[in-house]
Amino acid sequence: MKDYILFFLILLLLPSCNRFQTYDTESTLALAGENRAELEKVLVHFRDSGRVAYESACFLIENMKYHASKEKINLDPQYADYFGHTDSLYHALFDNITTGKAKEFKGKEYDSLRKALGKEFSLLPEPDTSEPMPDAQSLSAEYLIDNIEKALAVWRENGYEYNKDFDFFKEFILPYRATNEYPDMSRTDIYHRFHAILGKGSSIYEQLEYYKTYVDKSRWINKYTKPKGHLGIYDLYVPKFKMDCHNMTNRSCNILRANGIPTVYEFTPLWQDRGNRHFWCVSPDTSGILQPFTAPDNNLREDWESDIRYAGKVYRRTYGAQKDTPYFIAGEDEYIPGLFDTPLLSDQTFRYHQTVTLRLPLNGKTYNNLAYLCMWAGSEPAIVGWGKIDRKRNEIVYEQVPLNTLFFPVLFDEETMLDIARPFIIYAGTTLEDIPLPLTANTPPHSPKDISIENGNIIDSDTRKAIKELRYITLECDTTQHTDLHLLRKYPDKRRMRAFREQLKGAVLVGSDDERRSFDTLLTIKETPQPYLQEYKFKNEKCYRFYRLSAPTGASVNISHMEFLTSSPKGNAFRSPTPLPVFHKDTVSDTEKMHRVEGRPLKTGSHPEYAFDNNMSTYAGSSSVGMEFRHPVQIDRIRLVPRNANNMIVPGNSYLLMYYDNGWKEFKILYAEHNYLDFKRVPKATLYWLRNLTEGKEELPFFYIDGKQYFLHTDKLPYCE
């Protein structure tokens, strides 16, 4: 009888979604199997709770058919006890100090306690994983009702209005998951675990600052923990998973949403200058503009300049299905690349770059509905975007194409990727006034800049007039013409490494006969050092046993290599100095006889010995580095290499030069005797690629213009200014 009554209620219930917005909950209910009754309880629970509450339930259940966890993580209850203890320790240590003071806190006296915690953690049972069931077949009514009720509390607290805010609410607050993480805690449990931290802030920025500090210091407390597998939400607490940005973004989204902070998950399938992906959170600033941040280590827009602005195409991972994705656009038997074989994507590139709608001529016939865009990712291009094929106009319409980015247009014959046009760049030498700047708008322009390619030129698709501010660059090659290339790098100077070098501006070298006092200043580094071995000469008429180089304002010196030179070793062990780099065949070598004096590295902090280990891949991270010599010695010059990625030409390494001619073609291998390579009579091409065959992985194609390398996506091209 009870089953009959419930069935009758559901019959009444299903059409009731039509009183408001239409939702297809039935397709999910049909897939739910034995869990159908749980989902129906959710609909019944919210049926008479108002439009927002009921449509929230309908929205979650309608789209639940697209969601599942990657794996189910089964943790022993002892983990909750353990992390409860570390949470209590955090509050005892940091509750009564500012976030700034907490960041500076070193707490060396707590090292034995942290080691004891690491030992305690090692005794916990190993995490167990199992194959999860889809959400529709596994989530309980209790879990979903709790999630919706807590989300509705945020709705009420913020005074949201249906017509203006419901679409935002559905993606930024309501969802119980971000992507494929296992939902191991209810929203109420997440709220209670983190509200004491996030509740301190009066703005999203302040809340994120508290969150950053909490996670950072929790990792500090758990320095000696060595988990044998993922720990669900507790992954945030241990250093091992710090670099797992997908996992960190998932967990951060759920934590922030549970505490009323609107958050979504966005990602780039490929950086413009690196061959990998990245994932981050997005929340609104005080003006309502959505700002990215890599959680939990950054605040709103904090890593924009250093990283996120260099994303390629950018997508939001949505909870609700998006009808303008390849998942729905593709033909019945048309192959969809794995990245795009989901309805849960929303193109957000317009928020990160100036973009255009590009209409590219389609040569030849195809039954496909879709073509794609790839970016350079080494030997094989990586698919990063899609376009719709318009057979009537015989063109491909690519939306949100970022300017100044190299793309390879392709389509698929079954699962075989085929080139369909020359690789191209829509190049702008300056900012375009009629396209929104990055991070200034939340929605795409109503009438985006729409361009077409006609006889190799860019024209306005509506007026058919040429657009002078844009240039259509394609990858060409003329093997009948040749050029000589003088090369100094295989990869551009990295932004992070430049920042480290800039910290050395103002560094001071001092000398003394006492390790801790009575220092005389010998040298101040007045300019930012170069990313290679360089020599600093200075006037010094005295002999000292101790020499120390200190970065200004307590910053890390980040020195990869350092040598102390003299013409008279004074009884100290010595050897020949490392030769200074040679960047051209006409460089005159320094013939002055100098000695590199050997000594004992001063104990100044984090691995000071790395500055003297003759390994350019290691570095001293302490605020100073120095040397104690057996006998006082008159040092009057130093040689040093700042921390760097070793991406210049390395003597002793072998390099392969390639050029693009409808695919990458090998030209020649050269062995580097010095810090440069001279390739003669190279086919004249638009783009080249230098590969180090001996060591290192970072490489990026480059243009060669007027005797200089211009790296793809990082350097401004001179002929387009």
Q: What is the pLDDT of residues 697-708, one digit of tens each?
A: 899 999 999 999
In a domain, 159, yes or no: no
Q: Tell whether 369 and 436 lie within a shared domain.
A: yes
Instruction: Give the pLDDT of residue 19.
Output: 57
Q: Tell whether 392 and 359 lie within a shared domain.
A: yes
In percent, the amount of the chain with pLDDT more than 90 equals 90
Q: Tell whether 568 and 597 lie within a shared domain.
A: yes
Instruction: Give the pLDDT of residue 272.
Output: 96
The residue among 360 and 590 whose pLDDT is bigger is: 360
Instruction: Give the pLDDT of residue 362.
Output: 94
In a domain, 264, yes or no: no
Q: Tell whether 530 and 629 lie within a shared domain.
A: yes
Work out the pLDDT band at 349, boundaries 50, 70, 90: very high
Sheet containing 702-705: order of strands = 664-671, 654-660, 688-692, 702-705, 708-711
Is the pLDDT at 65 greater than 80? The verdict is yes
Give the C-alpha separation, 690 to 485, whole Å: 11
Q: How big, in percent rounded to 5, are the helix, strand and coil portions of the chain?
A: 30, 25, 45
Q: The tokens of 264 are what?
A: 């979504």
**Residue where a domain stops, chosen among 642, 664, 692:** 642
Is the pLDDT at 504 greater than 90? The verdict is yes
Work out the pLDDT band at 518, boundaries 50, 70, 90: confident
Give the C-alpha separation, 103 to 301, whole Å: 19
**Residue where a domain stops, chosen among 585, 609, 642:** 642
pLDDT, tens digit, for every residue of 422-471?
Answer: 999 999 989 999 999 999 999 999 999 999 999 999 999 999 999 999 99
- pTM equals 0.92
User: Are the C-beta atoms of 625 and 601 separated by less than 8 Å?
Assistant: yes
Instruction: Give the pLDDT of residue 720.
Output: 52
Give the C-alpha separation, 566 to 577, whole Å: 10
Q: Tell whether 367 and 442 lie within a shared domain.
A: yes
Assign 182 to helix, strand or coil. coil
In a domain, 460, yes or no: yes
User: Which whole number is the average pLDDT over 643-658?
Assistant: 95
In a domain, 363, yes or no: yes
In a domain, 512, yes or no: yes
- 633-642 burial, b at 16+ Cβ within 10 Å, e below that, comes to bbbbbbbbbb
Chain length of the chain: 721
Is the pLDDT at 5 greater than 60? The verdict is no
Instruction: Give the pLDDT of residue 21.
Output: 77
User: Are the C-beta atoms of 643 and 568 separated by less than 8 Å?
Assistant: no
Q: Tell whether 620 and 532 lie within a shared domain.
A: yes
User: Which whole number is the average pLDDT over 22-36?
Assistant: 96
Q: Tell whether 468 and 582 lie within a shared domain.
A: no
User: Which whole number is the average pLDDT over 503-511?
Assistant: 95
Instruction: Give the pLDDT of residue 516.
Output: 85
User: Which whole number is the average pLDDT over 393-398?
Assistant: 97
Instruction: Give the pLDDT of residue 20.
Output: 64
Q: Which domain range does residue 400 map to? A: 350-474
Q: Which residues on neighbouring strands pair with residue 533, listed in sequence order?
A: none
Give the C-alpha separation, 281 to 295, whole Å: 6
In percent, the amount of the chain with pLDDT more than 70 equals 96
In a domain, 20, yes or no: no
User: Are the C-beta atoms of 118 and 226 separated by less than 8 Å?
Assistant: yes
User: Which whole number is the average pLDDT over 131-153?
Assistant: 97
User: Are the C-beta atoms of 151 and 56 separated by less than 8 Å?
Assistant: yes
DSSP state, residue 456: T
Give the DSSP H or E segment for 164: helix 162-172
CA–chain centroid gap for 424, Å, is 25
pLDDT, tens digit, for every residue of 561-582?
Answer: 999 999 999 899 999 999 999 9
DSSP state, residue 240: G
How many CB atoms are closer than 10 A to CB 466?
12
Segments of 567-607 assigned E as strands: 574-575, 595-597, 600-601
User: Which whole number is the average pLDDT over 38-58?
Assistant: 97
Q: What are the backbone angles phi and psi of residue 522, rounded to the nearest 5°?
A: -110, -30
The residue among 555 and 602 whose pLDDT is bigger is: 602
Give the C-alpha separation, 685 to 700, whole Å: 15
Is the pLDDT at 36 greater than 60? The verdict is yes
Smallest Cα–Cα separation from 567: which of 639, 633, 630?
633
Instruction: Give the pLDDT of residue 6.
Output: 45
One-letter amino acid for residue 540 of the chain? N
Q: What are the backbone angles phi and psi of residue 528, rounded to the nearest 5°?
A: -60, 125
User: Which whole number is the average pLDDT over 89-113?
Assistant: 93
User: Which whole number is the average pLDDT over 258-280?
Assistant: 97
Give the C-alpha separation, 465 to 450, whole Å: 12
Q: Tell whether 622 and 657 lie within a shared domain.
A: no
> 610-618 long-range contacts, Cβ below 8 Å, gap at least 24?
610/560, 611/557, 611/559, 611/560, 611/561, 611/562, 611/640, 612/561, 612/562, 614/561, 615/560, 615/561, 616/560, 616/561, 616/641, 616/644, 616/646, 617/560, 617/646, 618/560
User: Are the C-beta atoms of 419 and 409 separated by less than 8 Å?
Assistant: yes
**Residue where a domain stops, chosen among 642, 659, 682:** 642
Among positive and negative, which fits the CA dihedral 710, 712, 716, 717?
positive
Q: Which residues on neighbouring strands pair with residue 405, listed in sequence order?
A: none
**541 CB-near residues (< 8 Å, 6+ apart):** 634
In a domain, 322, yes or no: no
Is the pLDDT at 314 greater than 80? The verdict is yes
One-letter amino acid for residue 584 of the chain? H
Q: Tell whether 579 and 463 lie within a shared domain.
A: no
User: Are the C-beta atoms of 430 and 469 separated by less than 8 Å?
Assistant: yes
pLDDT, tens digit, for every residue of 667-691?
Answer: 999 999 999 999 999 999 999 999 9
Instruction: Give the pLDDT of residue 474.
Output: 97
Is the pLDDT at 16 greater than 50? The verdict is no
Is the pLDDT at 7 greater than 50? The verdict is no
Instruction: Give the pLDDT of residue 15.
Output: 45
Instruction: Give the pLDDT of residue 639.
Output: 97
- Domain tally, the chain: 3
Give the C-alpha separation, 622 to 558, whole Å: 7
Locate tokens 């006034």: which residue? 433
In a domain, 714, yes or no: yes
User: Are the C-beta atoms of 436 and 448 separated by less than 8 Å?
Assistant: no
Give the C-alpha separation, 136 to 441, whole Å: 35
Mean pLDDT for all residues in the chain: 94
Q: The tokens of 304 are what?
A: 């924009």
Q: Tell whether 547 and 681 lie within a shared domain.
A: no
How many CB atoms are closer than 10 A to CB 355?
26
Work out the pLDDT band at 605, boundaries 50, 70, 90: confident
Give the C-alpha separation, 219 to 86, whole Å: 10
Q: Tell whether 408 and 539 lie within a shared domain.
A: no
Give the C-alpha separation, 418 to 368, whole Å: 12
Is the pLDDT at 389 greater than 50? The verdict is yes
Instruction: Give the pLDDT of residue 8.
Output: 45
How many CB atoms are closer than 10 A to CB 63?
23
Give the C-alpha separation, 348 to 318, whole Å: 11
Give the C-alpha separation, 483 to 679, whole Å: 9
Q: Tell whether 537 and 602 lie within a shared domain.
A: yes
Give the C-alpha separation, 322 to 345, whole Å: 6
